[in-house]
Structure 1
Amino acid sequence: MHLISRLDFAAPPDRVFAMVTDETFLAHAATELGSADPRVAASATRTAVEGAIETPAEIRAFVGPSLTITQETVWSGPAPDGSREGTVTLTVATTPVSLTGTATLAPAPGGSTLTYSGDLVVKVPLLGGRLETLAAPIVTEAFEAQGRVGADWLATHQ
């Protein structure tokens, strides 16, 4: 199932990129999403965040009471306009759930836009499509929550 999430920020791409590669921000965002003790590693070219969250009720019967999710993004260098491309992978430990795709950070009127685009796959015979339909809003909400937390972060951190 193909997912797209677009996050708009009132800051130029270089500030947004600095935020999304900042370990303190990434840990804060994971905590705001419900992960009590996230593990974060970040550099100028790669970020990795692993966190455990409570499983949403819609899929709890299939995967148990908690999910350990890892999101890794590998970034390219900046283009002349400050835009960047990245590859994104998201895995859910002990489940056949994954997302592979791209992150695109680009200038936009009033700031910049970070767009996540990827294919969510649940490799379960007969039930995979149904589980993808249940998991898609959870993944999309996680990206959108990163946008809300990021907007607040940018407003309070120079």
Structure 2
Amino acid sequence: MHLISRQEFPADPARVHAMVTDEDFLAHAAAELGSVDARVAATSARTAVEASVPSPSEIRAFIGPTLRIVQETTWAEPQQDGRRSGTVTITVPGAPVTLVGSALLAPTASGSEITYDGDLTVKVPLLGSRIEAQAAPTILEAFEAQGRVGRAWLRREG
């Protein structure tokens, strides 16, 4: 299932990139999503977040009460205007669920935006597409939550 998510930020791409590759921000964002045990590693080129979050009710029967998620994002060097391209991968260890796609951080008239564009795949015979449809809103909400948390972080950091 193809997913696209865009988050706008009131800051230039360099500042947004610094935020989304900051371990404190990533841990804070995971906590805001309900994780109490996030493990985070970040450099300016790569981030990895592993976190347990409450399972969405729609898929709880398939995966249990908590969902362990690993999100890895890589970032290329910036272009002249600050734009950066990257990749994003989300996996659920022990479950046949993956999202593989691209990330684009680009300047806008009011700051910048990050666009995630990827394909969600659930490899379960006969039920895969149904589980994808149920999981997609949760993944999109996680991206949206990262945007909300990021905008608040930027306001706080001034």
TM-score higher than 0.5: yes
Q: Deviations over 1:108-131 (max 9, x none)?
A: 011001001100000001000000
Runs of 4+ in structure 1 deviating by more than 3 angstroms, as ranges, are none
Structure 2 residue runs of 5 or longer lacking an equivalent are none
Number of aligned residue pairs: give it: 158
**Amino acid of the residue matched to residue 83 of structure 2?**
S
**Amino acid of the residue matched to residue 46 of structure 1?**
R
The answer for the alignment partner of 2:67 in structure 1 is: 67
Tell me by how many angstroms 1:37 deviates: 1.4
Corresponding position: 1:10 with 2:33: no
Name the SS for the 2:91 alignment partner. strand
C-alpha distance in structure 2 between counterparts of 1:97 and 1:119, whole Å: 11
Tell me by how many angstroms 1:44 deviates: 1.0
C-alpha distance in structure 1 between counterparts of 2:155 and 2:37, whole Å: 25
**Amino acid of the residue matched to residue 66 of structure 1?**
T
The answer for the alignment partner of 2:53 in structure 1 is: 53
Name the SS for the 1:98 alignment partner. strand
Name the SS for the 2:82 alignment partner. coil
C-alpha distance in structure 2 between counterparts of 1:28 and 1:148, whole Å: 12
The answer for the alignment partner of 1:25 in structure 2 is: 25
**Amino acid of the residue matched to residue 5 of structure 2?**
S
C-alpha distance in structure 2 between counterparts of 1:68 and 1:62, whole Å: 13
Sequence identity, in percent? Answer: 63
C-alpha distance in structure 2 between counterparts of 1:54 and 1:113, whole Å: 28
Equivalent runs, 1:37-116 vs 2, <5 Å: 37-116=37-116
Name the SS for the 2:58 alignment partner. helix
TM-score normalized with structure 1 length = 0.99
Structure 1 residue runs of 5 or longer lacking an equivalent are none
Q: Deviations over 1:2-46 (max 9, x none)?
A: 000000001000000000000000000000001001000000100
The answer for the alignment partner of 1:129 in structure 2 is: 129
Name the SS for the 2:81 alignment partner. coil
Name the SS for the 2:34 alignment partner. coil
**Amino acid of the residue matched to residue 87 of structure 1?**
T
TM-score normalized with structure 2 length = 0.99
**Amino acid of the residue matched to residue 120 of structure 2?**
L
C-alpha distance in structure 2 between counterparts of 1:27 and 1:21, whole Å: 11
